[in-house]
Structure 1
């Protein structure tokens, strides 16, 4: 078998991708806990599943191998000891101790077959599901109104963020928000224990125990020697610098990391919500990440004098920085919503800039972003639209919903 991880660009022909089909975790959303679980609305489960299936089939129709998170994790937990360790790690990540009433949660989870256990952990455990020991502490009595022992994980269908493939390795990410921190634990178990991956010595460029956050939506592989990382609400500058050092040490082809600062707001959650690569020399962009002069903060990180340092160069012009980093004579930036005062922010809200390139000049987008899609086509891009009324409620587009595992080199 070829190496199971290989991504050296954003636009190389996509061969294998990881998805997660939304499940019962979406039905455990309620208005009171939307903010806590990082959602703005409640999708309708049968329809969001139908839309996700359409998305997955769209990729298969182009010859792309689609793998599912639930399946891989189930196959990774192939012994009783691994199941027990995984449950213990999940409870630890959820700040549930292994003694007292928490043991009942452990026993409850381990009573399921592996796949059902995985789905239950994703869906969350309601208090009504398990009879627990009588409360003996004041804090337990005060917290009785909260309906879950184990929170649901509705963000799982955005498989881009917990881990990101770079070259033949990956980052397994420290997630910024508490509601998402367990997600990268799933990828860690898959990489270390699934037969498809465990047989390889897969380099982990930055692991989930690193104390500062980074998320895959901020990680863009522009070429075999250049990675762009967003300095965003979800990714810290310290993580970017450490990742750069590790890549320069361990991946011979890597020459530079382009750190792009974007506004720290929910509307501009990750770099890929405002900027994606769609062809060799074409990119989508949401104009509001630049100031009125078309400037923004860009930092080019290159190898320093010794292996634990980097040389940093400050730039302010995105087009010039991209041309220099990628050796291009010209670069085209295609504005979300055509830059229109109404269409741009509306389509940005629905991830008009969040395209998934499946080959050079071929992208998957949401059908609802018709202004941006028309403009992409006018620039010679083949646009494959997927239905999106429910998927878009989670505030992530086709790139957010997919973790490329293998792409052809360009």
Structure 2
């Protein structure tokens, strides 16, 4: 693999390097099985792979370097990995905050093997930047939004705890961020991670489900912490909020910024959300077919782990 340093200070700047993982080789063939593994419908792995290749090719055509981590695993690891049905949701495994790679720690037994697989490679690739630290508390990185060089928003989701945030917050402050806002949203399949409830769509705009406006955030700095409302916090850091009253959770919220002018979105997304807001009118929208992958309970943001944004 080519040598480079991880670097990520926002959700909207140009995406240069991203980590992906192909879906497993298993079908989820009946609704009972789908329900038991937390998926919304049956999934055919051939169709899922076609979806994945469309995402990968689209990213590469946009000039993004794609690292498919499962290809770098040992033969023994691959035998297990290719049977892990959630492995393509790489966002939760780790996150780059500033110049540092923070490891995730899953709260799901079904996903537990993925983390040492990915972390062993990330440690090898980025030994000076990967924060090697024992993390006994659940922390999944789909609960993290880097707003800008000053502020980070983190959700206490089904699989992220306050104890985990307490253990990493000094590392985030060390990168130069001045505030970490912690929100505690409802815990359900439709609100599993922060990026199923809100997302950064522009350098000055966050898209969010309307109910989020009623939740306070606990704002931590190096010296203190206090409470304020979510919109107040976002406004103070330069963001307007585009509140959605009606939405399809995964395709409408779970998109990826390719650069400040371009959004990568699902073909199932409600296009009007991106065409009627004045700050989004000139956005270039690139659509990909990921219907089969979305049945696993996540979208494009869940499937992509940015390593470099410039």
Same-fold status (TM-score > 0.5): yes
CA deviations over 1:156-176 (Å, ceiling 9, x no partner): 111100111111212211101
The 2-side partners of 1:35 and 1:171 are apart by 31
Tell me, yes or no, if structure 1 residue 384 matches structure 2 residue 303: no
The 2-side partners of 1:168 and 1:73 are apart by 25
Query: Does the CA-based 8 Å contact 2:181-2:220 persist in structure 1?
Result: yes
Query: Does the CA-based 8 Å contact 1:351-1:395 persist in structure 2?
Result: no
Offset of residue 2 of structure 1? 6.2
- Secondary structure, counterpart of 2:59 in structure 1: helix
Q: Hey, what does 1:48 align to over in structure 2?
A: 48
Offset of residue 287 of structure 1? 1.4
Query: Does the CA-based 8 Å contact 1:174-1:211 persist in structure 2?
Result: yes
Q: Hey, what does 1:308 align to over in structure 2?
A: none
Tell me, yes or no, if structure 1 residue 215 matches structure 2 residue 140: yes
Query: Does the CA-based 8 Å contact 1:376-1:383 persist in structure 2?
Result: no
Offset of residue 49 of structure 1? 0.9
Tell me, yes or no, if structure 1 residue 315 matches structure 2 residue 228: yes
Q: Hey, what does 1:149 align to over in structure 2?
A: none
Q: Which has the higher contact order (CA 8 A, sep 6+)?
A: 2
Q: For the structure 1 residues 242 and 65, does the alpha-carbon distance in structure 2 shift closer, same or farther, using more than 3 Å as the test?
A: same
Offset of residue 323 of structure 1? 2.3
Q: Hey, what does 2:95 align to over in structure 1?
A: 164
- Secondary structure, counterpart of 1:155 in structure 2: coil
- Secondary structure, counterpart of 1:12 in structure 2: coil
The 2-side partners of 1:180 and 1:299 are apart by 29
Aligned match for 1:351, one of 251, 259, 265: 251
Q: Hey, what does 2:86 align to over in structure 1?
A: 155
Q: Hey, what does 1:183 align to over in structure 2?
A: 114
Query: Does the CA-based 8 Å contact 1:48-1:390 persist in structure 2?
Result: yes
Q: For the structure 1 residues 395 and 373, does the alpha-carbon distance in structure 2 shift closer, same or farther, using more than 3 Å as the test?
A: farther
Query: Does the CA-based 8 Å contact 1:161-1:400 persist in structure 2?
Result: yes
Q: Hey, what does 2:129 align to over in structure 1?
A: 202
- Which protein has the larger Cα radius of gyration, Structure 1 or Structure 2? 1
Offset of residue 319 of structure 1? 2.5
Aligned match for 1:192, one of 96, 99, 123: 123
Query: Does the CA-based 8 Å contact 2:28-2:34 persist in structure 1?
Result: no
Query: Does the CA-based 8 Å contact 1:278-1:362 persist in structure 2?
Result: no
Q: For the structure 1 residues 72 and 157, does the alpha-carbon distance in structure 2 shift closer, same or farther, using more than 3 Å as the test?
A: same
CA deviations over 1:226-281 (Å, ceiling 9, x no partner): 21111211211121222212323x42x12111112211111101001111101111
Q: For the structure 1 residues 29 and 189, does the alpha-carbon distance in structure 2 shift closer, same or farther, using more than 3 Å as the test?
A: farther
Residues 164-173 or 38-47, more deviating:
38-47
Q: Aligned pair count?
A: 307
Offset of residue 332 of structure 1? 3.0
Aligned match for 1:332, one of 220, 236, 240: 240
The 2-side partners of 1:3 and 1:164 are apart by 16
Query: Does the CA-based 8 Å contact 2:123-2:130 persist in structure 1?
Result: no
Offset of residue 30 of structure 1? 5.3
Q: Hey, what does 1:365 align to over in structure 2?
A: 265
Q: For the structure 1 residues 373 and 387, does the alpha-carbon distance in structure 2 shift closer, same or farther, using more than 3 Å as the test?
A: farther
Query: Does the CA-based 8 Å contact 1:278-1:361 persist in structure 2?
Result: no
CA deviations over 1:55-107 (Å, ceiling 9, x no partner): 11111111000110112334xxxxxxxxxxxxxxxxxxxxxxxxxxxxxxxxx
Identify unmatched segments of 5+ residues in structure 1. Answer: 75-113, 124-151, 305-310
The 2-side partners of 1:178 and 1:36 are apart by 13
Structure 2-normalised TM-score?
0.91
Offset of residue 353 of structure 1? 0.7
